[in-house]
A and B are shown apart, each in its own frame.
Chain A
Amino acid sequence: MKKFLIYSAVWLLLVVVSLEISLRVFGLAAQTMPTKNVDNNYVFEPGKSGFWVRGGLKEINSYYAINKQGFNSIVDYTDLDNKNLNIALIGDSYIQGFHTDANYSIGRQLEDMLGPNVVVFEFGRAGGNIVDYGLVYEEYVKYKKYDFVFVLATDKDLVSEKASFMGKGNRVPEKDLTRKIYDNVHLLRYLNINHGLGVHFNKLINNGPDSIDRIHNNNLSSDIITKESYLNSVNEDALKLLPEDVIFLYEEGRLDDVFIENFDFKFKKVIHSKTPKDHGLDAHWNINGRYNCAKSMAEYIQSQ
């Protein structure tokens, strides 16, 4: 037994060291994105740039650049020039767009489609919801001259009562020892991001196993939504922060007709002119999906 345990320990040590070296050499582990409190908003550290990595073998490896406001965009909102056609784009992780090179984001594709003197300002943050979008509008958009303001939203965003990042600057984590270890050990980051180590442990401790019974029950638990219940659940206070000329960009099936029919905003459906592709490991569409969004917005702007 003693030999076996020594052998296993040596073997495990070798595996861990080899994996750590491999991950460092090939840059396979995702970075911890540095967050910062900017004007009491929980955003990314301004001025940071690099490559955002996801997937077992770096299937997504895209360039990111954090602007002065802490959003992933190569454009700063202080660059706004009234002579240009200025477009604001507000949304969640999809607009944040780490899954695509910052030079091919929705904003950049839209600029290419509309020609010169068009600048798109992107305000996207993963986990954002309608409260955040309203506050983003208040803080960054309202007092500037924007020609078009698009909000990418889903039903899920509309029912949130609390902001996720706006006014949440206090959520920037303290760098304690555990955090420092996590940030510096590529293997931990790799296992956590790619294999959901943390999420899985959490689920195991809180919920126990995913029994067939539970999976079955979960599948049955989708509620039937009525028009009244839908309208009651929408956060109207947050919506009031947005003016009626805001254009809601939506994907069919992810924004209910009840919302479209009962609110006086403008709406534009994303047309899937190209097949949106993802990498299996990430439900966010990549280049083609971004193209579809940009194309749909370009069509809308050109029709005005």
Chain B
Amino acid sequence: MFFNSIDFAIFLPIFFILYWFLIAKNLKLQNLLIVVASYIFYGWWDYRFLALIVFSTLVDYIIGLLIWKDSKKGGKNKFYYLLTSIFVNVGFLGFFKYYNFFVDNFISAFSFFGHEFGSTSLSIILPVGISFYTFQTMSYTIDIYKGKLNPTKNFIGFAAFVSFFPQLVAGPIERASNLLPQILTKRKFSETQALEGLRLILWGLFKKIVIADALAPSVNEIFLNYAIYPSQILILGAVFFAFQIYCDFSGYSNIARGLAKLLGLELMVNFNFPYFSRSIAEFWRKWHISLSTWFRDYLYIPLGGSRDGLSKSLRNVFIIFLVSGFWHGANWTFIVWGGIHALLFVPSFIRKNNRNNLLDLAPSNYYLPNIKDVLKILYTFSLVTFAWIFFRANSITEAIDYIYKILSFDFRSYTFLNPYDNQVLFKEYIYLLLLILLEYLFITNIINFYSKNKIYGILFDVILFIIIVLNNPVSDSLSFIYFQF
């Protein structure tokens, strides 16, 4: 079920009424409803893969308890229990997501040395959201192993944590230490929180429907037929993709957080205006925060982090960026994308200024940013957009060709028509400018539509909603890009 579908528009009010009006006084029933609703939500795509979620839930629930019990007895076996949890979750990922990649590369590598194998690729359907919920459940057992978290004996509560439908298929990847206690505690309806939730949902839909879906046809066309387009159109394609993926993914996160708020729960912020970053390091503190902090806490720090000298620190930096790239998909393009970001990150890491600008969002407390900040933002955005070419291309060869074509400086005059409606791009630019302007206003707090007068807030919401309805493509709802990861 997509958030931007009529199915979900029916599903949500029914769920909301049941959740807050019929069983609000009974926490167990509320959690049971979350589990059932989440399974329906997920089963809408393919009910067969529900078995994976149920199995993963069972395994981590039991292993969580076993680790905890073993810790009390000295913890001789807890490491093996943890390994089992990791083996099951990574095993699912490895099979469903990476099996064909490893087999194909294995065969290619051996054929390079003269050994031929028959193709053993399988037609494996990637279960939606598998990378998200497996990472979420792993964080639970790892935290118990580290003694940071006590396991829950409440199976329904744990199942609700694993399957919580707002963030089940595309994050944010929640930590058990944040979400589980909320799920196990009685919720109280808060009007302020619910209103914030509605507005986050609205803003998420705006980003997804008005920006991401509107840019998708142009991006698809330009990346598919890049060989025929002049350089400026290829640059446009890369910039459009940068906004498409941001609006698609952060739009989903906004909706997820908004839905959670409607249910009285708080999810972590996953995107913090990343395209206003003034360096790559800052970008990575603001982009897909739940994943980057996951890798920081469960991979980078266990590997030694930056404690064991420069060379090992650099090794660790490269490992998390490459693994992070690989997490996105079984293709070398994602690994190269991660590698490029590692290379871009390393200079500031060596100069130890990668922790700069931690608190302030650029540009802050000014109506207009200073020129230096603007240039830094543009420079960072250019680097990030360059790396996106690898992320979006189907192969490394294609990505290199694409970049080569840009660098050929073929700037012949060309009018690009949006393949969706065969019109000259116009409203796409208008909405992009509107997005940038609104995000700028949100960051700087120059105008807060929701603070002083309720009328402004309502008007803003209504206008936003009208824009969404009038710009919703006539065809069926487009899936969110990050579902495939």
Contact = CB atoms under 8 A, between A and B. Distances in A.
Contacts of A8: 198
A216 B126 CA distance: 13
B18 interface: no
A188 to B, nearest CB: 13
B474 A211 contact: no
Interface in A237-287: 277-281
B6 interface: yes
Interface centre among B420, B422, B461 (most CB of A within 10 A): B422
Interface stretch (B42-50, B270-278, B306-314, B356-364): B42-50
Nearest to B125: A212
Q: Is the interface of A mostly helix, strand, loop or mixed?
A: helix
B7 A209 contact: yes
Interface in B74-115: none
Contact of B422 (A7, A194, A200, A279): A279
B12 interface: no
A11 B194 CA distance: 14
Contacts of A211: 43-47
Contacts of B189: 1, 4
Contacts of B44: 209, 211
Contacts of A14: 458, 462
B182 interface: no
A281 B47 contact: no
A217 B235 CA distance: 39
A181 interface: no
B375 interface: no
A204 B5 CA distance: 11
Nearest to A194: B474
Interface string B322-338: 00000000000000000
Interface in A1-47: 1, 3-4, 7-8, 10-11, 14-15, 18-19, 22, 28
B458 A209 contact: no
Given A1-B189, A11-B461, A281 B473 contact: yes
A169 interface: no
8 contacts: A1-B20, A14-B462, A15-B466, A57-B471, A194-B472, A195-B6, A201-B6, A216-B125
Closest 10 CB pairs of A and B: A280-B420, A281-B474, A209-B44, A212-B46, A277-B422, A4-B191, A280-B421, A279-B421, A200-B6, A14-B462
Interface of B: 1, 6-7, 10, 20, 43-48, 125, 189, 191, 194-195, 198, 217, 418-423, 427, 458, 461-462, 465-466, 469-475
Interface of A: 1, 3-4, 7-8, 10-11, 14-15, 18-19, 22, 28, 54-57, 59, 191, 194-197, 200-201, 204, 209, 211-213, 216, 277-281
